[in-house]
Structure 1
Amino acid sequence: MKVDRLDVTAYTVPTDAPEADGTLAWNETTVVVVEARGGRTTGLGWTYAPADAGSVVHDLLRGEVLGRSPLDVAGANEAMSRAVRNAGRPGLVACAISAVDLALW
């Protein structure tokens, strides 16, 4: 089986009341959801990150995962890390890679 589809969608969900962590307050949360499909099997991954993480998945990571065995999570992670070398690995990009990793598990 190979990954034949990798879809990404960002959802912004309002909170019931303002939330805060002591350094920042917010009234909505964005979650980026990744679906990896291979045949009739679907994996679901997500990350709490700005919607731009979805663009990273679509534009930079998708090509590294399509056609690969979904069981080769380590190989996919290495390929995704190489693909973002010039974009930088920490922050938003790390969130995007994490969502794809989860979808493959």
Structure 2
Amino acid sequence: MDQLWDRGDSMGTFRFHGWTVVEVETDTGLVGIGNVALAPRIAKAIIDQYLTPLVLGHDPFDYEYLWQRMYRSTHAWGRKGVAMAAISAIDIALWDLMGKETNKPVFKLLGGRTKEKIPCYASKLYRTDLKEMQDEAQKYLDQGFTSMKMRFGYGPKDGTQGVRENLKSVEAIREVIGYDNDLMLECYMGWNLEYAKRILPKLEKYEPRWLEEPVIADDIDGYAELNQLTSIPISGGE
């Protein structure tokens, strides 16, 4: 299926990601760990050259001040994308430090427990052979999942046949999990507004819990238009 993604219709999978691990060490020897997966080599350069001098020598508990210091100092060329990912890596490490210093899990520092259980869903189901997808969906059911998210394999460049293939994949998963379980649909920003408007009415009968990132994150007007067009909840901005 690699050739399918090579046509450039979508982000494909996250196989192109690497990782940079960020360590922030205090004068008492505690080490907080953060990470960044988006363009990690570029993020490392940003951290080494721009962000590290802004953080060194400060109290990690001044996390809001440090975040604002990093964000405002990179404002001319940052504000989103890899610069924000680099800031987040340090911010995660600071929170890790604070958790270790207070001997508490970070969620306790962020407001504490609000519920006893948190629902989760299986998130994979990349477009492969339809029978393989159905077997994978059955595996998640057997593991106790009551909701799962699948990926589309086709986009605007694949024309009418691609639309049919996308619908086939949704139908194949519904055949396995029925309608008492939730099914979410992931587009990886691989569609455009025209294509999304064309296929959305055809997807409604499958009752998806939501449709994720049909257009690029910056197309705010497109998201607004799609929300007005369909009863399917549209998610985006990840």
Higher gyration radius (CA): 2
Give me the whole-angstrom Cα distance separating, in 1, the residues matched to 2:80 and 2:20: 17
Q: Which gives a bigger RCO, structure 1 or 2 (Cα 8 Å, sep 6+)?
A: 1
Give me the whole-angstrom Cα distance separating, in 1, the residues matched to 2:19 and 2:88: 12
Aligned to 1:10: none
Identity %: 29
Uncovered stretches (5+) of structure 1, i.e. residues with no partner: 1-17
Q: Is 1:69–2:59 an aligned residue pair?
A: yes
Q: CA deviation at 1:28?
A: 4.0
State the secondary structure of the residue aligned to 1:68.
coil
Aligned residues: 86
Aligned to 1:36: 24
Q: Is 1:23–2:13 an aligned residue pair?
A: no
**How big is the alpha-carbon RMSD for the aligned residues of Structure 1 and Structure 2?**
1.8
State the secondary structure of the residue aligned to 2:60.
coil
Name the TM-score, length of structure 2 as normaliser: 0.34
State the secondary structure of the residue aligned to 2:17.
strand
Structure with the higher fraction of residues in strand conformation? 1
Give me the whole-angstrom Cα distance separating, in 1, the residues matched to 2:51 and 2:79: 12
Structure with the higher fraction of residues in helix conformation? 2
Give me the whole-angstrom Cα distance separating, in 2, the residues matched to 1:88 and 1:103: 20
